[in-house]
Structure 1
Amino acid sequence: MPTYTAPTRDARFVINEVLDLPSLNNQAGFETATPDLVETILSEAGRFTAEVLAPLNRVGDEEGCVRHEDGSVTTPPGFKDAYQQFVEAGWGTLTAPEEFGGQGLPHVIGFAVEEFISAANQAFGMYPGLANGAVAALIATGSQAQKEQYLPRMVAGEWLGTMNLTEPQCGTDLGMIRTKAEPQADGSYAITGTKIFISAGEHDLTDNIIHLVLAKTPGAPDSTKGISLFVVPKVLVNEDGSLGERNGVTCGSIEEKMGIHGNSTCLLNYDGAKGWLVGEENRGLAAMFIMMNAARLGVGIQGLAQAEVSYQNAVTYATERRQGRALTGPAEPEAQADPIFVHADVRRMLMDAKAFNEGMRALCLWGALLVDLTHRAQTEEERAEADLLIGLLTPVIKGYGTDKGYEVATNMQQVYGGHGYVREWGMEQFVRDARIAQIYEGTNGVQAMDLCGRKLPQKGGAAIQAFFKLIGDEIATAKNDEGLAALAAKLEKAVGDQQAATMWFMQNAMQNPNHLGAGAHNYMHLMGIVTLGYMWLRMARIAQQQLASGAGDEAFYQAKLTTARYYMERYLPDTGSFRRKIEAGADSMMALPQEAFATAA
């Protein structure tokens, strides 16, 4: 049976030392986020996720959700009780505004807890995770009446929420949606249509589910410019706040999925369901993107989470499983064989995982801090730069983070050899659960195109210029430090590859847009490697400072320096390969006619 231990020490290191959250405690919104509070929250979250959620991960996978004849859905055994414990402990309120019953803590703390939840039980974490996105959308675009009616109970966890975009005929191209919203005399709308792939669309965890639904009003443009957003509760809410009659939305079926069996991914039928417009008519896509951007960061964390839990179990297995002898001679001569941990190829997989996981954790938490700074930084200039940077980094966190997270999960399965392919060891579930993160909330191909087609040229390239300046300043500082200069030189070369690839797009994509499409995936990975390199250089600098000061925990900081060196030596060289692929352009990729792809008899 797999186990999980939340990486609280590493999260504290990133939050308190690398990102230096205590230095912000004189700014509004950060006052209460002291190191002591951070340690308490992370420790308690680590205990809750390890003791309550992790044991249910396999239960959820094997039992799944059950749809009944009346359209109701029962979650796996133990999920409802675990959710009640989640609510009673206030885990869903951490970062929500105090105005609606939240604790108002920085997102950087909430993101750390979100990783622990996803690693312990990804399917469970999706229930409150989707609700967080719905809350964010209502806060940003809902009317005051809608906020007062729904948000206190959603923040408290009494009600959960969903996002309803996809339909059978459209996924990425939302302009093709057919769900209709007919205005009614009382100011509401009758919502009719079918939505698919709706995570947490129906369940027994709460008495009500607040659906946010994209639909088109009569006469709306037949494109993305004609999409409106509606709030559609599963159960109608009376004026006094009590629950009324069941609304016209039902679960038609639960998808039979490769993984995340513990989450109810539903086909929802809307049959004249009563809904209310959120924000302006025909401006629904902009409102929904508030949810989607939050969700994309959450999905990036899921990629990290599955990589982390699979890594932890692979390390345990590698220290216990005995096969063969070390190439340098028996490591444990008294035993019949050495642990497979001594073999360089096993070390390669484990070190690749460790370097990615710790670098990705730093990136996700930096991203969370940028989200905080877009709202809480002291100056408008700082808020604007933080907003530019997190916009640029979101597709990298989601796309690169989940591609590599899945790769790490499969490599950790590989550490087990044949046992990794057998269900009883649990590794194949991590692989199956990790796979969805590359697909939902915009496939990773969409993320790559968003990065290259929208984020790079946005505002004259202001975001990528700010990104390069940040890394350039860190490199310049490190090059003057004898202990960091070699690391900085390797990162500088990798940054040069990304800058060259960026310039190649500028010079070639306008004349042939397929050049951009052909290289976008490679560019996203190139930027992901560079960004994690930046995080590793920052972590190495802090680790070196702590060692020099005699701060203690010497083994932890030494491991950081060694892993930073490994990352720079083993990950950064790949940027040259990605650059050459980008510069190869699209000609050969697009040259064959469609019929040439068919297999001849």
Structure 2
Amino acid sequence: MPVFKAPVDDTLFILNDVLGYERYMNLPGFADASPDIVEAILQEGARLSEEVMLPLNQVGDTEGCTRHDDGTVTTPKGFKEAYKQYCEGGWLGLAAPAEFGGQGLPYALHVAVGEYMSSANLSFMMYPGLTQGAIAAIHEHGSDEQKAKYLPKMVEGIWTGTMNLTEPHCGTDLGLLRTKAVPQGDGSYKISGQKIFISAGEHDMSDNIIHLVLARIEGAPEGVKGISLFIVPKFMVGDDGSLGDRNPVSCGSLEEKMGIHGNATCVMNYDEATGYLIGAENAGLKAMFVMMNEARLGVGLQGQAMGEIAYQNAVVYARERLQGRSLSGPKAPEKKADPIIVHPDVRRTLMTIRAFNEAGRAFMLWTALKSDIAHRSEVESEKQEADDLLTLVTPVVKGVLTDKGFDHAVMAQQMFGGHGYIEEWGMSQYVRDARIAMIYEGANGIQALDLVGRKLGQNGGRAVMAFFKEIGDFCEENRGNEELALYTKGLKKGLNDLQASTMWLMQNAMAKPDNAGAASTDYMHLFGLVSLGYMWALMAKAAVEKRAAGANGKDEFLATKLLVGKFYMERIMPETVLRKARIETGADTMMELAEAAF
């Protein structure tokens, strides 16, 4: 069976030493989570991940979900019991508002624990993950009555939530959706239509499911300007919170999928189901974007999580598998062959995955702290700056970490040779599970277009200029530190490539939009390389300073950290040159080929 050890020490190093967690104690919720409490929460989250969720991962993959003739769905063996433990531990409401039963703790802590749990069992974590997104949307756009009616039981986990966007004929282009809403004169609507790819759309783990559904009110404008958002409960909810009759919303079928078999991905049929408008008429997309943005960060975390568990299992195998002899002479002469970890190309593979994983973890937590500041700070300038950066990097987190998460699952599978292709070893599941993260919540090509087409120019480029300044200032402030020279010089070169590519887009994309489309994916990954390089520079600075102060028993950990960071700067950071070169070729060649010639 695959193994997993939650990277608690690395998380604590990032939070405490790199990001300066204690500096944020003035923010609501942080004072309730001192460093000691944070460590205790992480350790308990690690225990639940390793002991409860991990053993169910292959069970979920092989058994999958079952739809019955009455439209109900049964989750894999053990999922329901594990979900009960998850809810009883208060994990679903870890960062949820205290006024609705949550603990109100930092979102950064929720992200840290979420990585462990998603590594251990991605399919399982999609059930509470969708609920947390629905909670955010209702909290942001729901009426006081709707919040009081739905949020407490969703935060507790007694009820779960979903998001219903996609229809058979429309995915990214939601302006084409056909699901209709007919006013009933009493404040409710009758919702009719079909939604597909609905994660956790029907299951047996909660007493009720609160669906958030995009639909078009009769007579609404065409396109995205005529979309509204509705709360459509599986069971009707009385004024006292009691459950009533079953609403005519049902699971028509379960999708047969490549991966994430433990999650019920449903075709949902709405047959004049009763729904309630959330937010304003024709403003549904704005309300749903709260959930979508939360989900995009969560999906980025999934990519990170898949890369981590795939790496851990590849390392175990590489240490044990005997094959061939080291190029520089036998390393295990008493054995008939050396373990494959002695081979340079195996080490290249493993160190590449690890270098991305550790920087990706820091980037996720850095982003989560920006979210905490944006939502909790009382200083408007701090809120704006944090929100700017959060908005800017969200497509990078989603697109880059999921692209790389899949790449790294494949690379880790390669370490097993033929055994990696055999299901019992578990590596095939990580490859299959990681693949969906590149697709849902906005395919990664759309994330790249969002970054180039919307985020760069937003507010006159305020966010991207602030981000460039932050990195540039770091390089300048640490220019004289010889121990950081490799990091600051490499980061500065990467930043120069990113700034030059940004300028090229500004000069060449307005007159010829295809140039932006042709450059977008390379630009997103260039942005990711520099962002992760910045994380490595921050981690290196913290490691150097901690070693100088005595290391506190962590010298081996810190020395390893610096060595992996060095690998990133030597072997990975130079890819910025390649990305820049691709961007500057423009769109002419790819657009010149006649359609019939493809």
Residue of structure 1 in register with 2:110 after alignment = 110
1:26 CA displacement: 3.0
Distance in 2 (CA, whole Å) between partners of 1:242 and 1:28 is 32
- Give matches, 1:482-497, under 5 Å: 482-497=482-497
1:476 CA displacement: 1.2
Distance in 2 (CA, whole Å) between partners of 1:316 and 1:356 is 19
Residue of structure 1 in register with 2:480 after alignment = 480
The one-letter code matched in structure 1 to 2:61 is D
Q: CA RMSD in A?
A: 0.7
**SS of equivalent residue, structure 1 residue 358:** helix
The one-letter code matched in structure 1 to 2:586 is G
Distance in 2 (CA, whole Å) between partners of 1:535 and 1:478 is 14
Distance in 1 (CA, whole Å) between partners of 2:155 and 2:330 is 57
1:329-364 CA-partner distances (Å, limit 9, x unpaired): 111111111110100000001000110000000000
1:522-559 CA-partner distances (Å, limit 9, x unpaired): 00000000000000000000000010100221110001
The one-letter code matched in structure 2 to 1:432 is R
- Give matches, 1:306-317, under 5 Å: 306-317=306-317
1:386 pairs with 2:386: yes
1:400 pairs with 2:397: no
Residue of structure 2 in register with 1:566 after alignment = 567
Q: Percent identity?
A: 59
**5+ residue gaps in structure 2?**
none
Distance in 2 (CA, whole Å) between partners of 1:17 and 1:128 is 30
Higher mean C-alpha deviation, range 371-380 or range 78-87 = 371-380
- Give matches, 1:6-405, under 5 Å: 6-405=6-405
**SS of equivalent residue, structure 1 residue 411:** helix
1:477-505 CA-partner distances (Å, limit 9, x unpaired): 22111100122111101110000000000
1:238 CA displacement: 1.4
Any conservation in 1 of the 2:27–2:373 contact (CA below 8 Å)? no
**SS of equivalent residue, structure 2 residue 60:** helix
The one-letter code matched in structure 2 to 1:373 is I
The one-letter code matched in structure 2 to 1:589 is M
Distance in 1 (CA, whole Å) between partners of 2:486 and 2:357 is 22
Any conservation in 2 of the 1:202–1:251 contact (CA below 8 Å)? yes
Any conservation in 1 of the 2:486–2:569 contact (CA below 8 Å)? no
Any conservation in 2 of the 1:479–1:486 contact (CA below 8 Å)? no
Any conservation in 1 of the 2:304–2:405 contact (CA below 8 Å)? yes
Higher mean C-alpha deviation, range 434-443 or range 543-552 = 543-552
**SS of equivalent residue, structure 2 residue 250:** strand
Distance in 1 (CA, whole Å) between partners of 2:258 and 2:18 is 37
1:104-154 CA-partner distances (Å, limit 9, x unpaired): 000000001111111000000000000000000000000000000000000
**SS of equivalent residue, structure 2 residue 338:** coil
**SS of equivalent residue, structure 1 residue 70:** coil
**SS of equivalent residue, structure 1 residue 266:** strand
The one-letter code matched in structure 2 to 1:112 is A
1:364-414 CA-partner distances (Å, limit 9, x unpaired): 011100000002234111110000001010000000110011001000000
The one-letter code matched in structure 1 to 2:445 is G
Distance in 2 (CA, whole Å) between partners of 1:238 and 1:93 is 23
Residue of structure 2 in register with 1:575 after alignment = 576
The one-letter code matched in structure 1 to 2:213 is V
Distance in 1 (CA, whole Å) between partners of 2:187 and 2:420 is 57
Q: TM-score, structure 2 length as denominator?
A: 0.99
Residue of structure 2 in register with 1:555 after alignment = 556
1:217-267 CA-partner distances (Å, limit 9, x unpaired): 011011000000000000001122111000010000000000000000000
The one-letter code matched in structure 2 to 1:595 is A
The one-letter code matched in structure 2 to 1:578 is R
The one-letter code matched in structure 1 to 2:438 is Q
**SS of equivalent residue, structure 1 residue 203:** coil
**SS of equivalent residue, structure 2 residue 483:** coil
1:593 CA displacement: 1.7
Distance in 1 (CA, whole Å) between partners of 2:26 and 2:597 is 64
Distance in 2 (CA, whole Å) between partners of 1:182 and 1:283 is 16
Distance in 2 (CA, whole Å) between partners of 1:411 and 1:486 is 27
1:28 CA displacement: 3.0
Which runs of at least 4 in structure 1 moved beyond 3 Å after TM superposition? none
Distance in 2 (CA, whole Å) between partners of 1:27 and 1:158 is 29
Distance in 2 (CA, whole Å) between partners of 1:587 and 1:545 is 49
Distance in 1 (CA, whole Å) between partners of 2:596 and 2:295 is 38
Distance in 2 (CA, whole Å) between partners of 1:592 and 1:339 is 49
Distance in 2 (CA, whole Å) between partners of 1:511 and 1:90 is 53
1:273 CA displacement: 0.2
The one-letter code matched in structure 1 to 2:466 is A
Distance in 1 (CA, whole Å) between partners of 2:87 and 2:375 is 26
The one-letter code matched in structure 2 to 1:571 is I
Distance in 2 (CA, whole Å) between partners of 1:13 and 1:127 is 29
Q: TM-score, structure 1 length as denominator?
A: 0.99
**SS of equivalent residue, structure 2 residue 282:** coil
Residue of structure 2 in register with 1:539 after alignment = 539
Distance in 2 (CA, whole Å) between partners of 1:375 and 1:238 is 32
Distance in 2 (CA, whole Å) between partners of 1:142 and 1:468 is 36
Distance in 2 (CA, whole Å) between partners of 1:422 and 1:481 is 49
Distance in 2 (CA, whole Å) between partners of 1:317 and 1:486 is 32
1:550-572 CA-partner distances (Å, limit 9, x unpaired): 02211100011111111011111
The one-letter code matched in structure 1 to 2:389 is L
Any conservation in 2 of the 1:22–1:33 contact (CA below 8 Å)? no
**SS of equivalent residue, structure 2 residue 198:** strand
Q: How many residues align?
A: 597
**5+ residue gaps in structure 1?**
none
Distance in 2 (CA, whole Å) between partners of 1:191 and 1:487 is 56
Distance in 2 (CA, whole Å) between partners of 1:7 and 1:28 is 27
**SS of equivalent residue, structure 2 residue 207:** coil
**SS of equivalent residue, structure 2 residue 96:** coil
